[in-house]
Chain A
């Protein structure tokens, strides 16, 4: 070995180990730049997360509050119950229209009583503060409890979305002047009513329990059907994907001989995990709806697609946790005379269970947020009726949480943007709960070998 003949630059005169020369300074500066670049990349990633979450929270939190008009309504028995026997079947003949008139009269009477001037507005403009849905709510309340008829009820009626938007800062006098659905004079009236305590913004539990509402009544739109539909789908996914996924993993991890067939299965699972979700939607449309003739928008079909999508995730997680069980457990079981199946089902599987459940919950969380395949099986349809009880209800049309967000973004009224963001908050809350559950399971039960 000869000394390497590097053409090293001759050290500059007066070179010192203490005072760095120009080249060292340059290299150190580039080191600092590189570090800063890395740190700013991390910062950008975190910033993106923060901006994303604040934007959704900022837009959506107001969906959980709603503007209500609180007026005393006298439920005139002569109008609502002509027979006078409080029979809900007969009272059903009074339509929403009748209740609407009652409510409008009550509002005007309440305004007069509080001495709020309405001279500048026509009667139609005054009653225009009330949501069209309010009368239907009143009717539902009365039919549920016929004994209310004849009494005076303090009723909380929904205000229209424009008035609601005014109290939430979405609608201003300038925008109202250009808006066909609301006038600045109505906003003035709303201000005077707020001062008199007739109108105000309160919590809105209906956002979680009501069904979707029509394009013109964003104030009444809720997530009830979507949450129920998503819950049905999650049940289908859990019931199908957990046993199938565990069975497949046990075979592949513990029993399968290494041959072409198992190789093929392994390659398939790896590729299925990477197939775009919309392709699963196409499969569902062609197979479940066109060939098998299952109904559109049904939670069962949605659950089946999501099962196919989650299976690879669950299989990969289950195999990892089966693999983590040390071979000594199997050897010990076989040594005392257990059969291979007994060793697996009595010893390996129980030990792997926490890991399997964690993986399953994470797979379910992923399935809950998936929307693209559900669009293709007709989940975007407008559904107002709650699906029935399972198992028959699994075939009734329903919505799903993420798809509800999508359909609300497709509507013209800006009030639906608030609803969509609110729905996202609900979705994220469910996901957070599921992930927290998975982490707790892992912390509490997972064994390190």
Chain B
């Protein structure tokens, strides 16, 4: 039974439960709702919830646990001799999964029935040929034992699916009947429904915690795998980054970190002066008409996806900087460079700096300005010597948030900064960043369990710690500052 059908059945049962519960409650008091504890609809909702919620939870858990369990039992079936030279247990498992999928395709396309599939499993060569006919190509030759394991895998998956459908439906019907049986005029339906609702609301709000836990768990777990394959000392101290597919790679963090910080520094050098001055001008000088046009226009920059900035860097800014600056000055002839990525990222960050600073400047009490004007200061002197120092902590917070965004930005540097990991001072040289290498290490075709792939998780962990630290620091500074005026 397909998942969609099962879900539809559950929803149907819940709907039926609503009608049945409501009817039964009304029937118990001969249609006089005043004799019920709760409004009639609450009896319906109680039955609907009892039918749908436990069954849906069971289905969710089953969907998560079943593949894990089946995989584990199939892994146990793999014999040492099934694992060929250069192969691994995981690769054989992947083959098994692929064969099982292929068998599914064979059955679905009507070229083989269940009996033929079982027969085919004992003739690996014929099986491989049949699979190739339906575009399921297998690299390695199949041994009879692996084909058998695939058969077991496929059967236990199918049994699991069937068992799930039965269990979920049974639970739903049981919940339905139990709740319906409990419907009496004295049943405190509203209280029950509201308590269940509250639990569901709490569960929804815990997803934020689960996400953070998931991020930390996946990063730490895979990074730990990585550090078992590759010494942590080399990762944190080595100055070279040169992954090799054959093994023996140098995976030093520093060239990537240097590129990241260099690009971010240039981005901030562009974004902070422009963003800050724009915020000052718009909040202190600009006429309402100009402000009404310019402020939203600059904020459009924040709504443009970063892939657009990446393409802008690749097509326009990169060639422009190369032809007008790098080549005439003899600093290189690469269109992707730290400068390209930095300038474009700076443009992206202008609205972050300006709108945050704008809020902060507006929060400085007017009395401070009035006092300054009263002793004869000009407007710019007031801004520089009174408003700016008062707003400074908030502005620093805004800059730190912009910095954290710059460090985590991916698409601009993937398209604009280049892929060569080096420690260089020349801003017109192509360099690479942490995020670029996460993308390139995880989108390649390398084996998942190799240090070259797993290093991406260690890089991700570094990135996560950096951005989290900057954000916590920024929030701390902003919060501390706010206490002064409120």
Contacts and interface: CB of A to CB of B under 8 A. Distances in A.
Contacts of A340: 194
A49 B460 CA distance: 31
Contacts of B204: 243-245, 247-248, 251
A195 interface: no
B236 to A, nearest CB: 19
Contacts of A276: 405, 407-410, 435, 463-464, 467
A372 B435 contact: yes
Interface string A33-50: 011011111101110110
A375 interface: yes
A35 B408 contact: no
A42 B282 contact: yes
Contacts, number: 258
Given A247-B204, A427-B305, A341 B197 contact: yes
A51 B344 CA distance: 12
Interface in A123-154: none
Interface string A362-396: 00011011111001101010000000000110000
B389 to A, nearest CB: 16
B306 interface: yes
B224 to A, nearest CB: 12
B298 interface: yes
B374 interface: no
Contacts of A51: 316
B308 A45 contact: no
B201 A251 contact: yes
Contact of B297 (A46, A270, A291): A46
Given A255-B198, A272-B212, A291-B68, A282 B401 contact: no
B132 interface: no
B306 to A, nearest CB: 7
A71 interface: no
B303 A272 contact: no
A391 B4 CA distance: 7
Interface string A342-373: 00000000000000000000000110111110
A194 interface: no
A52 B304 contact: yes
A405 B307 contact: yes
Contact of B464 (A39, A279, A312): A279
Contact of B205 (A37, A251, A281): A251
Nearest to B101: A295
Interface centre among A30, A265, A368, A435 (most CB of B within 10 A): A265
B61 interface: no
Contacts of B281: 35, 38-39, 41-42
Given A31-B378, A279-B460, A371-B306, A421 B315 contact: yes
A424 interface: yes
A255 B303 CA distance: 33
B442 A279 contact: no
B202 interface: yes
Contacts of A431: 303-305
A402 B347 CA distance: 20
B27 interface: no
A376 to B, nearest CB: 5
B211 interface: yes
Contact of A371 (B282, B297, B305): B305
B303 A45 contact: no
A424 B212 CA distance: 32
A248 B278 CA distance: 37
B347 A52 contact: yes
A199 B212 CA distance: 58
A425 to B, nearest CB: 10
A372 B411 contact: yes
Contacts of B456: 282
20 contacts: A31-B379, A45-B351, A48-B347, A248-B205, A256-B205, A265-B206, A274-B467, A275-B408, A276-B463, A278-B460, A279-B408, A282-B456, A283-B218, A285-B442, A293-B71, A308-B211, A369-B304, A369-B306, A376-B439, A428-B308
Sort A-B residue pairs by CB-CB distance and give the 10 closest, nearest first. Answer: A276-B408, A369-B305, A38-B281, A41-B277, A286-B218, A247-B204, A34-B380, A248-B205, A372-B410, A251-B201
Interface of A: 27-28, 30-31, 34-35, 37-42, 44-46, 48-49, 51-52, 55-56, 59, 243-245, 247-252, 255-256, 264-265, 268-272, 274-283, 285-287, 290-293, 308, 311-312, 315, 339-341, 365-366, 368-372, 375-376, 378, 380, 391-392, 402, 405-406, 409, 417, 420-421, 424, 427-428, 431, 435
Interface of B: 2-4, 7, 64, 67-68, 71, 190, 194, 197-198, 200-202, 204-209, 211-212, 214-215, 218-219, 221-222, 273-278, 280-282, 284-286, 290, 294, 297-298, 300-301, 303-312, 314-316, 347, 350-351, 354, 378-381, 383-384, 401, 404-405, 407-411, 414-415, 435, 438-439, 442-443, 448, 456-457, 460, 463-464, 467-468, 471-472, 475
